[in-house]
Structure 1
Amino acid sequence: MKLMHLNLTTTDTAASADFLCTYFGLRNEGGNKGFMMLRDDAGMVITLMKSKAVRYPETFHIGFYPEGEPAVDALYARLTTDGFSVSAPERHHGYSIYVEAPGGFTVEVTA
């Protein structure tokens, strides 16, 4: 069985959707201010639901796994240039960066 759907709570569905589409290649499948549906090329669906407050556990995050360390470095440079607060690449369980997405959740990028 394969995990194919994830629902995220966000304080700003449009900003979260724009972020995920711009930097992680998801497609916006539509919605409104309170709900948006995104999809990747493998068919994974991420829904974004608006809430006044986002309360994830401290270590909660979603992750993307690009092909190789150069892709992590390129995304780090792009996010930093665009004004996001991004952790410098480090080796943990892989070569990773973490960024706070608009709307209140953390994204990990690991090669």
Structure 2
Amino acid sequence: MKLNHLNLTVTDVSASRDFLEKYFDMKCVGSRGNGFAVMFDDEGFVLTLMKGKNVQYPGTFHIGFPQENEDQVDKINQRLKEDGYEVKPPQQAHAYTFYVKAPGGFTVEVFT
């Protein structure tokens, strides 16, 4: 069985969409104003973003974007840092990984 889609409730659909497009190559294929967006990755996974007011995910909640190698993880980390995001350097844990708080109120993990 394959997971087909996930809906994230976010505080800012436009900012979340822009972030996911810029750093993770997600493609927005449809939206309704600033309240809803449908995004696809290159493997057909569907991520929908829906506007919410008091978005509070549990502390351990996150979505993950696997990378082919540590160099790719480092490059994304550096781009985020240069663009003003607070990110710690990647570290070896369960994988070579780091986390970033995305616009809209959710956390993203980038890892190998």
Letter in 1 for 2:17: A
Give runs of aligned pairs for residues 1-111 of structure 1, distance below 5 A: 1-31=1-31, 32-111=33-112
Aligned length: 111
Percent sequence identity over aligned pairs: 55
Give the TM-score normalised by structure 1.
0.97
Shift of 1:87: 2.2
Distance 2:88 2:109 in 1: 10
Distance 1:3 1:87 in 2: 30
Which contiguous aligned blocks of 4+ residues in structure 1 show a shift greater than 6 angstroms? none
| Structure 1: segments with no counterpart, 5+ residues | none
Distance 1:4 1:84 in 2: 30
| Structure 2: segments with no counterpart, 5+ residues | none
Q: What RMSD in Å do the two structures reach over aligned CA positions?
A: 0.7
Shift of 1:88: 1.5
Give the TM-score normalised by structure 2.
0.96
